[in-house]
Amino acid sequence: MKISGAAAMVEALEREKVEVMFGIPGGATIPFFDELIKRKTIRNILVRHEQCAAHMADGYARVSGRVGVATATSGPGATNLVTGIAAAYMDSTPLVAITGQVPRNMIGRDAFQEADITGIVTPITKYTFLVMSASQIPSVIRTAFMLASTNRPGPVLVDIPRDVQLETTEVTFPDQVKLKGYTIRSGDPHPYQVKKAIGALINAERPIILAGGGVIMSGATNELIELAELLQAPIVTSLMGKGSVPETHPLCLGIVGMHGKAEANIALEEADVVLAVGTRISDRTVMRLDKFGENAKIIHIDIDPAEIGKNVRADIPIVADAKKALKAIKEGLVKMGFKRDPDTPWLKRIKELRDQFASEYEELLRGSLRPPKLMKILRQILPPDAIVTTGVGQNQMWSALYFEALQPRTFITSGGLGAMGFGFPAALGAKVAKPDKPVVDIDGDGSFLMTEQELATSICENIPIVVMIMDNRSLGMVRQWQSMMYEGRLSYVDLGRVPDFVKLAEAYGAEGVKVESYEEFESCMKRALRSEVTVVIDIPVPPDEKVFPMVLPGRRLKEVICRG
In a domain, 184, yes or no: no
Do residues 229 and 203 both lie within one domain? yes
Give the whole-number percent of the chain exceeding pLDDT 70: 100
In a domain, 560, yes or no: no
In a domain, 58, yes or no: yes
Q: What are phi and psi of 234, to 5 degrees?
A: -65, 155
pLDDT in tens, 257-281: 999 999 999 999 999 999 999 999 9
Do residues 347 and 370 both lie within one domain? no
Do residues 385 and 293 both lie within one domain? no
Total domains present in the chain: 3
In a domain, 178, yes or no: no
Domain containing 148: what range? 2-170
**At residue 497, does pLDDT exceed 90?**
no
CATH code of 131's domain: 3.40.50.970
Do residues 415 and 278 both lie within one domain? no
Is residue 13 classed as helix, strand or coil in its secondary structure?
Answer: helix
**At residue 358, does pLDDT exceed 80?**
yes
CATH code of 214's domain: 3.40.50.1220
Q: What are phi and psi of 412, to 5 degrees?
A: -120, 120
386 forms bridges with which residues in the sheet?
none
Handedness of CA 189, 194, 200, 201 (dihedral sign): positive
Out of 351, 384, 404, a domain closes at: 351
Do residues 134 and 201 both lie within one domain? no
Q: Amino acid letter at 125?
A: T
Report CA dihedral (154, 64, 218, 278) to the nearest 10 degrees: 50
Cα angle 464, 466, 467; round to 5 = 125
Do residues 301 and 370 both lie within one domain? no
Is it true that the peptide bond before 549 is cis, omega within 30 degrees of 0? yes
Do residues 40 and 102 both lie within one domain? yes
Residues across the chain = 564
In a domain, 487, yes or no: yes
User: 0.85 cut: is pTM over it?
Assistant: yes
Contact yes or no for 244/224 (Cβ under 8 A): yes
Do residues 124 and 200 both lie within one domain? no
**At residue 361, does pLDDT exceed 80?**
yes
Do residues 320 and 382 both lie within one domain? no
Residues 6 or more apart in contact with residue 172 via CB below 8 angstroms: 1, 138
**At residue 564, does pLDDT exceed 80?**
no
Q: What are phi and psi of 276, to 5 degrees?
A: -95, 120
In a domain, 76, yes or no: yes
Helix ranges, 452-548 (H): 454-460, 476-485, 501-508, 518-528
387 forms bridges with which residues in the sheet?
439
Do residues 403 and 427 both lie within one domain? yes
For residue 465, the model assigns a pLDDT of 98
Do residues 16 and 109 both lie within one domain? yes
**At residue 77, does pLDDT exceed 90?**
yes
For residue 452, the model assigns a pLDDT of 98
Mean pLDDT of the chain: 97
Tell which residue, 483, 486, 465, 430, has the closest CA to residue 535: 465
Cα 423 to chain center, whole Å? 10
Do residues 402 and 541 both lie within one domain? yes
For residue 1, the model assigns a pLDDT of 79
In a domain, 91, yes or no: yes
For residue 263, the model assigns a pLDDT of 98
pLDDT in tens, 368-407: 899 999 999 999 999 999 999 999 999 999 999 999 999 9
In a domain, 434, yes or no: yes
